């Protein structure tokens, strides 16, 4: 399960569909409707809030909006349209780690999107987070599983 902190605009079509499905799974986990994934590190930042369901719905809604921009037909009924902004803190190092992780995947899977992201980064001069996240200076998150 990968619940990207980076803006969904960086994802290719496979990545966007995957994050939608994985976020729906995360919602079921947070609602107590699954047996597995209860202690998955990607869920920690959502569990920190009293209303983790509202947070995951806001996260899902950002994914839905990106899918809608691209003309995809994701089922809006699967999330509540919460437009919470800059609620969860994410560090700049975490964003760069995720971006590089995604770029490695895209270089093999969708070279066109890999190049688009490279150009976007050069233009914007920073990695943009999902609208739900507030960026601050800092290291990669403790919950992130990195390869040494």
Domain for residue 105, yes or no?
Answer: yes
C-beta separation of 44 from 52 below 8 A: no
Summarised one tens digit per residue, pLDDT across range 101-130 is 999 999 999 999 999 999 999 999 999 999
Domain for residue 141, yes or no?
Answer: no
Three-state secondary structure call for residue 90: strand
Q: Is the pLDDT of residue 46 over 70?
A: yes
Domain for residue 44, yes or no?
Answer: yes
Domain for residue 108, yes or no?
Answer: yes
Residue 3: pLDDT band by 50, 70, 90 thresholds?
very high
Q: What per-residue string of b and e applies to 94-119 under the rule 16 or more CB within 10 Å gives b?
A: bbebbbebbeebbeeebeebbeebee
Q: Is 70 left (phi over 0), alpha (psi -120 to 50) or beta?
A: alpha
Q: What is the pLDDT of residue 49?
A: 86
Residue 9: pLDDT band by 50, 70, 90 thresholds?
very high
Summarised one tens digit per residue, pLDDT across range 67-102 is 999 999 999 999 888 777 778 999 999 999 999 999
Rounded mean pLDDT, 28-49: 89
Domain for residue 106, yes or no?
Answer: yes
Domain for residue 2, yes or no?
Answer: no
Q: What is the pLDDT of residue 78?
A: 92
Q: What is the mean pLDDT of the chain?
A: 93
- Look at the chain and report how many structural domains it folds into: 1
Q: Is the pLDDT of residue 148 over 70?
A: no
Q: Is the pLDDT of residue 36 over 90?
A: no
HSE-up (13 A, CA, CB side) for residue 141: 21
Q: What is the pLDDT of residue 41?
A: 87
| Closest listed residue to residue 43, CA positions, set 56, 54, 57, 33 | 56
Three-state secondary structure call for residue 5: coil
Domain for residue 115, yes or no?
Answer: yes
Summarised one tens digit per residue, pLDDT across range 77-86 is 998 887 777 7
Domain containing residue 112: 8-136
Q: Is the pLDDT of residue 56 over 70?
A: yes
Q: What is the dihedral of CA 42, 45, 50, 51, to 10 degrees?
A: -60
């Amino acid at each position: 399960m990968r619940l990207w902190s980076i803006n969904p605009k960086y994802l290719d079509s496979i990545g966007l569909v995957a994050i939608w499905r994985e976020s729906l799974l995360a919602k079921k986990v947070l609602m107590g409707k699954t047996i597995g994934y209860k202690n998955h590190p990607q869920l920690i930042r959502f569990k920190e809030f009293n209303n983790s369901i509202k947070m995951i719905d806001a996260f899902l809604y950002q994914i839905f909006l990106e899918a809608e921009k691209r003309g995809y037909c994701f089922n809006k009924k699967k999330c509540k349209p919460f437009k919470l902004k800059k609620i969860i803190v994410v560090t700049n190092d975490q964003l760069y780690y995720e971006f590089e992780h995604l770029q490695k995947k895209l270089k093999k899977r969708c070279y066109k999107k890999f190049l688009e992201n490279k150009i976007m980064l050069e233009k914007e001069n920073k990695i943009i987070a999902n609208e739900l996240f507030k960026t601050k200076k800092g290291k990669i998150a403790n919950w992130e599983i990195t390869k040494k």
